[in-house]
Amino acid sequence: DLAQQRNPYAMRVLTSAVTGGHHGAHEYLRFIADELAIGDLSYTITTMRLSLKNDASMSEEEKDWYFQSIVALQENLRNLRARHELEE
């Protein structure tokens, strides 16, 4: 339960380890790395959105940088999820 709270993808990672649905160590490690990267990117995007929303002292330049960074991270996350879904 703690793993699932910290990373919503934890059960998929743990289940895949037990079921052996992936062949070969390289594919398995790539699957694990992708799962972790998806969780990390999701967390980073959420944290940045909260910072952007809640920090009234942020300059317009900083807000613009945060916004552009969030957009770029979302694109990376979308691409990673698409590639990851193909590998499952």
pTM above the 0.75 mark? no
pLDDT 10s digits, 34-63: 999 999 999 999 999 999 999 999 999 999
Contacts of 42 (CB under 8 A, 6+ apart): 8, 77
Look at residue 27 in the predicted model and tell me its pLDDT: 83
Query: Which residue is listed with tokens 């770029």?
Result: 72
d(CA 77, CA 71): 10
Ramachandran class of 24: left when φ > 0, alpha when ψ lies in -120 to 50, beta otherwise: left
Residues 6-16 have pLDDT tens digits of: 666 666 655 55
What pLDDT does residue 25 have? Answer: 80
